[in-house]
Amino acid sequence: MPVLSIRRYPDPALKSRCTEVTVFDAGLKALADDLHAAMTAAPGVGITAAHCGILQRLVLLDLAELGGRRDYVNPELVSVSEETMEHTEGSVSMPGMTDTLVRPRKVDIRYRTLGGVEMRETLEGFAAICMQHEIDQLDGIFWIQRLSRLKRERLLKKWDKQAR
């Protein structure tokens, strides 16, 4: 069983903006490992510290196209493509709920490693979608806020019904 538990929508942590990580130490590495365990148990392919109620700017993705687990500290979008793509999204904080969103197909990001080294990277396709989704979460934007009002209301009715 993972050390961390994933918060469920509408937990207030999921609507909170996360603070930048300033200390790059063994505690940060341990937090990343605990987040990975929680994400794997969920199961999911991406998670932020906010999903577990820790309001720090830390994202983990575990995608085949990235070669497996990748840790991103303080990630930020530098640029996004004009070309977009549709993709079905969901969240480890709202299991079983998904809907289609449109996001830029390609993003350039800046982030730090767990050791504090500044990096830049270009992500495309599914990896770009996942990173945008997780950066939204770091900014306190839960993915359903990107849906039209009608789609969001339908999804929330399903979520409430499932929760009962």
The verdict on whether 134 is a catalytic residue reads: yes
Q: What percent of the chain shows pLDDT beyond 70?
A: 99
- pLDDT tens-digit series, residues 10-32: 999 999 999 999 999 999 999 99
Q: How confident is the model at residue 2 (pLDDT cuts 50, 70, 90)?
A: low
DSSP 2-66: -SS-PPPTT-GGGGSPPBPP---SHHHHHHHHHHHHHHHHTT-SEEEGGGGT--B-EEEEEEGGG
Domains and CATH numbers, the chain: 12-163 (3.90.45.10)
Residue 8: per-residue pLDDT: 96
**Site of tokens 């767990």:** 114
Q: How confident is the model at residue 1 (pLDDT cuts 50, 70, 90)?
A: low
Other CB atoms closer than 10 Å to residue 11's CB: what's the count? 15
Catalytic residue among 76, 83, 121, 134: 134
pTM: 0.96
